[in-house]
Amino acid sequence: MTNTGVDMLMPFRTLIRQKCGVTFKNDGLHALESAIGKRIASLQLPGHDEYLKIVSRDEEEIHLLIDLITVNETYFFREKQHFDLLCDTIMPQILAGKKDKIRILSAGCSTGEEPFSILIALIEKYGMGIKARVEIHGVDIDTNVIETAKKGRYGKNSFRNDEHILLKYFEKHRDHHYHLSSQLRECVTFNVCNLLTQPFPPFIRNMDVIFYRNVSIYFDRETQQAIFQNLSNLLNPDGRIFLSSTETYYHNVGILSLKQCGDIFLYHKNSVAGAGYAKKPMPAPLPTPAVAPVVATKPSPAQVVLNTNQVQTAPKLVVKNQDVAALFESALADAEQKRYASAIARIDELLRIDVAMLKAYALKAGVLINQEKIDAARAVCHEILARDEWNLEAHLLLGVIARVKDEHDEAKKMFKTVLYIRSTCWLPHYYLAEIYHAEHDFAGAYREYGSTLKLLETRGVRDHGLTYFPLSFHAEQLIHLCRHHMNKIGGLHKKAGNS
């Protein structure tokens, strides 16, 4: 698109962002241009200027434009683990403490697959009687999708998961569509509602659970925060919000607390007054631990643990001017030159000056791992987490440590946490692949090597999550390695299938 084209769309971008929060990046501008083009043609207007005048003052017209630009992709049981967690863990907790109906909202419900999945999952678990104990609401800004949702009529594309369960509840009609019985359709109410506009209508207040998945990805940070705040205001004191796994971490801005339930993260408005996000108090820094037993480490392409036979003694440090930045640089240089004892002494000096210096802890953990002082490194990572609960590097290093100690479940948990924090980080995918491979979970290994490969091919090697011990492998080598493993695993699968 030419610069003039981009400029011409600017007032429309601003208007749409103000009205519904959707933000267009440059690669999405063609979609916006095409929607505007359709409206101009439909109104038989001479051009963009005339349309801008109309759409700026006519609420109905802005809604027609919004209906054209929203992305409504959805399907039944998307991220099925969320429905399992709701039914198996969260519902029993809420049911135990509540006599009134349990209120569940699908915010940004699109054509209704998400709220109907909630209903079906609940019926599967608790039987038809559960209908009397829950109220399920779906809202969306797009008028067209709400009309479709009310009809409860779906094409094959909506059934990508758990087809057998779904087919129990749907009837195939001559039009080749699957129709939900009216008895079930009536259990979910659908309404048009803009999540950005306050106040919300009364029927969506006092929610116990909100599914707000795959909606916030289209908003900028400011809008994400505003809508998340709006939704948290809708929650009952013990309410929860589900987001999709790729967008969860972005909302960890202190509005609600992020909770981990097995592999799943969700936000919880604790019953504590105000439901704030309680920061833990800062503990004092750990003294440098005594030498921990040496643990045999595994060679790996993304090797964090470097062997050294050097015997070193810590130099006496005299920090006269407390030049923290320079001291950190010296510690880093020591670490890079494998003068580990000196590096640790400088880092401890730094931590005496600034007890909350997270990068000093991260460097120290890395140095300790390289010294094979694994338990001491683990303690330092926990120091980081005590100050920054969702620190990516600390989780990654804890995963590396758990892997070195053959604690596979713990390692997997840590690497999955890293991916919740930053889904584009390839190193945890690689480590997960290695663990699954070692456990002969070939499907898991294949998937994770594939994710590593995709990230390396599209984003390069830089986004690995470790700040201070850069990897000595090139993207091409890693890509080759992933392909090699995937070919091997593919072959194994075939063999298993033939035998």
Pair of tokens at residue 475: 């993207």
* Interface region with ligand SAM, contact rule CB under 6 A, candidates 106-114, 234-242, 330-338, 340-348: 106-114
- Interactions with ligand SAM, residue window 71-100 (CB under 6 A): 71-74, 78
Q: Which is nearer to ligand SAM, 142 or 208 (CB)?
A: 142
User: How big is the site for ligand SAM, counted in residues (CB under 6 A)?
Assistant: 24
- As beta bridge partners, residue 12 has none
Q: Which is nearer to ligand SAM, 80 or 338 (CB)?
A: 80
Q: Which is nearer to ligand SAM, 190 or 430 (CB)?
A: 190
- Interactions with ligand SAM, residue window 13-42 (CB under 6 A): 20-22
State how beta strands 207-211 and 102-107 pair. Answer: parallel
State how beta strands 134-140 and 170-172 pair. Answer: unpaired
Q: Rounded to the nearest whole angstrom, what is the least distance from the CB of residue 115 to ligand SAM in the complex?
A: 9
The Cα–Cα gap between 451 and 426 comes to 7
Q: In what order do the strands lie in the sheet with 178-180?
A: 153-154, 178-180, 170-172
Q: Which is nearer to ligand SAM, 223 or 342 (CB)?
A: 223
Element at 493 (helix H, strand E):
helix 475-498
Residue 142 makes contact with ligand SAM by CB under 6 A: yes
* Interface region with ligand SAM, contact rule CB under 6 A, candidates 66-74, 247-255, 304-312, 410-418: 66-74
φ and ψ of 276, to 5 deg: -75, 175
Candidate list 116, 136, 187, 214; residue touching ligand SAM; CB under 6 A: 214
Residue 108 makes contact with ligand SAM by CB under 6 A: yes
Residue 213 makes contact with ligand SAM by CB under 6 A: yes
* Interface region with ligand SAM, contact rule CB under 6 A, candidates 136-144, 233-241, 256-264, 311-319: 136-144
Candidate list 65, 83, 90, 114; residue touching ligand SAM; CB under 6 A: 114
Pair of tokens at residue 53: 């005048």
Alpha-helical regions (H) of 127-189: 143-151, 163-169, 182-185
**Which string of DSSP letters, residue by residue, matches 306-353?**
--------PPPP--SS--HHHHHHHHHHHHHTT-HHHHHHHHHHHHHH
CB 24 within 8 A of CB 13: yes
Candidate list 121, 130, 136, 141; residue touching ligand SAM; CB under 6 A: 141
Residue 393 makes contact with ligand SAM by CB under 6 A: no
Q: How many CB atoms lie within 10 A of CB 179?
A: 16
Candidate list 166, 195, 347, 418; residue touching ligand SAM; CB under 6 A: 195
Binding site for ligand SAM (CB under 6 A): 20-22, 70-74, 78, 108-110, 114, 140-142, 145, 194-196, 213-215, 218
